[in-house]
Structure 1
Amino acid sequence: MNEREEPRLSAREMLERLEPSLGAGRRVRAVTALVAGLAGAVFVAALWWGEPGPLPGRTQAAFALFTVICLAWAGYGGWLVRRRVPLFATDRVIAAWMGLAASVATTALAGVAAVQRGAAVPWPVLAAGGLFVAAALVLVVRAHARRAALLRRLRELGGTRER
């Protein structure tokens, strides 16, 4: 190899340069998800356990749902911080699906609570929840498209990953 030739990179090395496993911005987001998830779970659990007397069933369900959502985000943040390999946007796909699941569950729970409180059709709750669900769906589609583009690029460069 003379001075003018650049060293040849493998497909995996090239993709790692294009999409680092966890750059500074992603690491901050991962740690934020971890810390916010844990803090949210502790806060919701403290509110739940601190309530005097027995709570109604839908209130118990709401506290349980919010605790599970917070713990899921904490788990996601912890998983992402521990990763040392290129993720090929898998992290974005997982986060988008978690956001969609949380949006749907929260909208459904709020709608049920509104109906039980006397609203025939809780239009404001459904409208607000619908906006969150629609935004989450857009993020799911975008995350899958980004992942597909990265995997297509990997195949073009001679990588081995098929999914």
Structure 2
Amino acid sequence: MIEEEPRLSAQEMIERLEPSLSPWRRVRAVAALLAGLAGVVFVAALWWSEPGPLPGRTHGAFTLFTVFCLAWAGYGCWLLTRRVPLFATDRVIAAWIALVASLVTTVGVAGIAVQRGIGLGAALAVGGVFVAAALALLVRAHARRAELLRRKRELTGGLAGGEQA
């Protein structure tokens, strides 16, 4: 006698494709939140403890690093509050944050190298590695999201209406 597996509804199959927040994804969200908050505290403490007036470029650098850290903290908080399948939207957002941060940092470091007349090649090489890695993650995240949404459309018969993002 062959035992049949219980039939799953389309919604149950969709949830198995991309659960709302797996334990591993929850750990990643908490790590992003804590790392972002720790970065904000560290950068702010360093910024406020600098003696004397700082040049405008230094204030700009501290501001950018604070914004990057706040972006990661906000991402972690956003991810922890999601209760619906994300269909890899979280990966796409994380990859965009990484790409923007690596591009802006590379441009800033290259600008400093040009201004000082030293090491432009090294700055662009190292920055290029980070930009390339972030870009590869972004392409991979978009591909994964497209694959999951395609499967969702197949399961729901193309009537996926309001796709959760």
* TM-score, length of structure 1 as denominator length: 0.92
Partner of 1:77: 76
Render the CA deviation track for 1:32-73: whole Å, top value 9, x for unaligned: 000000000110011011111111121111111000000000
Render the CA deviation track for 1:113-163: whole Å, top value 9, x for unaligned: 1222223x6110010000100111100000000000000000000161576
What letter is aligned with 2:153? R
What letter is aligned with 1:85? V
What letter is aligned with 1:141? V
Q: Note the C-alpha offset of 1:21.
A: 1.1
Q: Note the C-alpha offset of 1:18.
A: 2.5
Secondary structure of residue in 1 paired with 2:90:
helix
Partner of 2:137: 139
Distance in 2, matches of 1:161 and 1:140, equals 25
Distance in 2, matches of 1:155 and 1:29, equals 28
Distance in 1, matches of 2:9 and 2:55, equals 60
Partner of 2:111: 112
Matched-pair contact (CA < 8 Å) for 1:154–1:161: no
Q: Note the C-alpha offset of 1:12.
A: 2.1
Distance in 2, matches of 1:130 and 1:161, equals 40
Distance in 1, matches of 2:129 and 2:162, equals 34
Structure 2 gap segments, 5+ residues each: none
Render the CA deviation track for 1:63-89: whole Å, top value 9, x for unaligned: 110000000000000000111110000
Distance in 1, matches of 2:161 and 2:41, equals 39
Structure 1 gap segments, 5+ residues each: none
State the identity %.
71
Equivalenced residue count is: 160
* TM-score, length of structure 2 as denominator length: 0.91
Distance in 1, matches of 2:37 and 2:161, equals 33
Partner of 1:123: 121
Partner of 2:47: 48
The alignment's C-alpha RMSD in Å is 1.7
